[in-house]
Amino acid sequence: MTQNAMTPAQCRAARAILKWSMARLAKKSGISSRTIYLFEGSVDGSTGIRDTTISILIETFRIAGVTFVRDDDSVSVRLAANPAHEDPARQASFVFTAAIGGVSAA
């Protein structure tokens, strides 16, 4: 897992702040509930989940208005006052290409 990647705790917190179930995150991201379950259940994210899978989850949360902050002393999750999905001025068109395991701008 890359240094700037989301931690399992941040993933759980992001779902909580959005009031999303694992099933809802799975549907929105195209990542299986089982993969999300395995990632969130790990202490440090060392489940063998690909960085591209984590990137898709991060992008899914970003579109919903969540940002992740990680520094030497803490990790945190923030929700934007005007998430991209609610503010047309901030929207970007993204296509999740789950079949090839990546995210690309459309």
Reported as a single tens digit per residue, the pLDDT across 21-65 is 999 999 999 999 999 999 998 876 666 788 899 999 999 999 999
- Write out pLDDT tens, residues 62-77: 999 998 887 777 778 8
Provide mean pLDDT across the span 89-99: 37
Q: 44: which 2 tokens?
A: 């440090």
Predicted TM-score of the model (pTM): 0.71
CA torsion, ordered 77, 82, 83, 86, to nearest 10 deg? 160
CATH of 8-105, one of 1.10.260.40, 3.40.50.12780, 3.40.50.300, 1.10.3720.10: 1.10.260.40
- H/E element, 26: helix 22-29
Stretch 7-11: mean pLDDT: 89
Query: Do the beta carbons of residue 104 and residue 95 sit within 8 Å?
Result: yes
Domain ranges of the chain: 8-105
CB neighbours (10 Å) of residue 85?
11
